[in-house]
Amino acid sequence: MFFWDPTYILFMLPGIVLTLLAQLWVNSTYSRWSQVASSSGLTGAQAADRLLGQMGMQGVSVEPAQGRLGDHYDPRTKTLRLSPAVGNGQSVAAMAITAHEIGHAQQDAEGYAPMRLRTSLVPAVNIGSTLGIWMIFGGLLLQSFLGSQLAVQIAWLGVVFFSGGALFALATLPVELDASRRARQLLQRSGLLIARREQDGASSVLRAAAFTYIAGLATAILQLLYFISIVGGMGRRRS
pLDDT for the residue 67? 77
Q: Please, what is the average pLDDT of the chain?
A: 90
* Arithmetic mean of pLDDT, 161-170: 94
- Structural domain contains residue 68: no
**Domain extent at residue 128:** 2-40+91-238
pLDDT band at 237 (very low <50, low <70, confident <90, very high): low
Cα distances from 160 to residues 1, 21, 138, 154, in angstroms, run 20, 30, 14, 10
Domain assignment present for 172: yes
Condensed to tens digits (0 to 9), the pLDDT of residues 35-52 reads 999 988 999 999 999 999
Please report which confidence band the pLDDT of residue 105 belongs to, taking 50, 70 and 90 as the band edges.
Answer: very high
Domain count, the chain: 1
Flag whether 156 is in a domain. Answer: yes
pLDDT given at position 233? 76
All residues at 6 or more sequence positions from 200 whose CB lies less than 8 Å from its CB, including other chains: none
How confident is the model at residue 2, as a pLDDT? 55
Residue type, 161: F
Is 206 within 8 Å of 100 (Cβ atoms)?
yes
Q: Is residue 29 part of a domain?
A: yes
Give pLDDT, residue 139: 86
The residue annotated as part of the active site, out of 101, 110, 176, 198, is 101
Residue 81 has pLDDT above 70, yes or no: yes
pTM of the complete model? 0.88
Asked if residue 67 is part of any domain, the answer here is no
Is 63 tagged catalytic? no
195 found inside a domain: yes
Residue 73 has pLDDT above 60, yes or no: yes
